[in-house]
Amino acid sequence: MSRLYKRSDSPHWYYSFGTPPFRKRQSTKTDSLRLARLIQQKWDEELILANRGIAAKRILVPNLIDRYIEHLRRLKNESWYLRQKGGLKHLSRLFPNYQVREISYTEIRHYIRIRKEEGVSPKTIREEVSMISRFFLYAIKDSYALSNPAEGADLPAKRKIKPRTAISSEELSRTVREAEREDDRIYWSLLYYSGLRTGDAGSLTNKDIQNDRIDIVQQKTSRRVIIPLHRKLKKFNLVSLMPTRGKRRWSRHRFQKILGYGDLHSIRHSFGTHLIEKGATTFDVKALLGHKSADVTSEYIHQNFARLKKIINLL
């Protein structure tokens, strides 16, 4: 059934079970033969139960996620595959040494709590748990899990957020001028003159910036967007301005302290609104923001009340 053996390059006993191409080999991580035999007995029992569908097979969470992502890469389009990869990386990060079969409802609840503490929005957490649920369905098919711990998880309630409004160009200019830190001034300018999301703008690499454009695959949607590089940005170093979530959070606090309202994502709304006012079409703004749907783009275009008042008074 199984055997123990030693390798010339290690003091530890190794465990071998089965025959090729399904042979399983791994280190017991002990040089004690007595302890190795106890481990051998336990692993034999687990494999027998797993083969009869009574217990799940052993595999680390990151290892099975890698298999699952490769499986998706072959079957799905690039946008879908990259989105699942981005969503599941946090499960690998939080449970790097867990067997997949060890993840229970308790671990999923812990995952949700940690992601809340990291400042992730309820909407994003709900999407990530949905991805985890699909991952466990894959694990069940291959006998690495017997149940789906993400099914029926207590998800955070959707938060009603006050709709963002566009910030006037005058207020934005004042806020940038009053920033004490140079990296804030460059970062906020980049957000306004590119319309990028905060994470994308803060973690640009050299390959994302070409002579006259920013060419980037967005982290949130995995959609590629090409944005002409504004002349005012060409004199700045735009690489890795705010690469971490923590740095972006503190930059947001400093922005709100000066402006008094709004947040850094409001700058993206300002970008879309001001372009429309300058004569751009909704199609132009949709392409620059990297939206899939024009309905989403419409939420980023806010009416200028003062301009509408002048138009109404022309009647």
Residue 228, domain CATH: 1.10.443.10
Instruction: Assess whether 28 and 104 both reside in one domain.
Output: no
> Are 73 and 189 in the same domain?
no
Please compute, for residue 82, the number of CA atoms within 13 A of its CA located in the half-sphere on the CB side: 11
Asked whether residue 78 is domain-assigned, the answer is yes
Condensed to tens digits (0 to 9), the pLDDT of residues 80-110 reads 778 888 889 999 999 999 989 889 888 999 9
Residue 143: count other Cβ atoms within 10 Å of its Cβ.
15
Residue 49 token pair = 């139960």
Q: Are residues 211 and 308 in the same domain?
A: yes
Whether residue 56 has pLDDT greater than 70: no
228 three-state secondary structure: strand
Query: How many alpha carbons fall within 13 Å on the CB side of residue 295?
Result: 0
Number of domains in the chain: 3
Does one domain contain both 124 and 246? no
pLDDT for position 50: 63
Q: Given CA atoms 299, 300, 301, 304 in this order, what sign does their dihedral have?
A: positive
Q: pTM for this one?
A: 0.57
pLDDT over 70 (residue 52): no
Quick: pLDDT tens for 147-188. Answer: 899 988 888 887 665 677 889 999 999 999 999 999 999 999
Select, from the ranges 17-21, 49-53, 121-125, 160-164, the one with the highest average predicted confidence (pLDDT): 121-125
Boundary-marking domain end, from 141, 161, 193: 141
Question: Residues 137, 184: one domain?
Answer: no
The answer to whether position 156 is within a domain reads no
Q: Is 284 part of a structural domain of the chain?
A: yes
The confidence score (pLDDT) of residue 40 equals 83
The reply to whether 164 falls in a domain is no
Q: 232-237 long-range CB contacts below 8 Å, 24 or more apart?
A: 232/189, 232/193, 233/189, 233/190, 233/193, 233/194, 236/186, 236/189, 236/190, 237/186
Whether 66 is in a domain gets the answer yes
> CA 142, CA 148: separation in Å to the nearest integer?
13
Residue-number span of the structural domain to which 46 is assigned: 2-51
- The values of phi and psi at residue 72, to 5°, are -65, -35
Q: Are residues 180 and 220 in the same domain?
A: yes
Asked whether residue 71 falls in the same domain as residue 180, the answer is no
Same domain for 184 and 225, yes or no, is: yes
CA nearest 23: which of 42, 8, 9, 3?
Answer: 3
Q: Taking 50 as the threshold, does the pLDDT of residue 312 lie above it?
A: no
Q: For residues 180 and 93, is the Cβ–Cβ distance under 8 A? A: no
Report which of residues 193 and 297 the model is more confident about. 193
Kindly state whether residues 203 and 123 are assigned to the same domain. Answer: no
Whether 146 is covered by a domain: the verdict is no
Angle of CA points 153, 155, 157, to nearest 5°: 155
What DSSP element (H or E) covers 24? strand 24-27
Q: Are residues 281 and 263 in the same domain?
A: yes
Is residue 15 assigned to a domain? yes
134: CATH: 1.10.150.130
Same domain, 46 and 65: no
69 and 201 in a common domain: no
In angstroms, the CA 227 to CA 218 distance is: 12
How far apart (Å, rounded) are the C-alpha atoms in residues 202 and 240?
Answer: 6
Does residue 163 belong to any structural domain of this protein? Answer: no
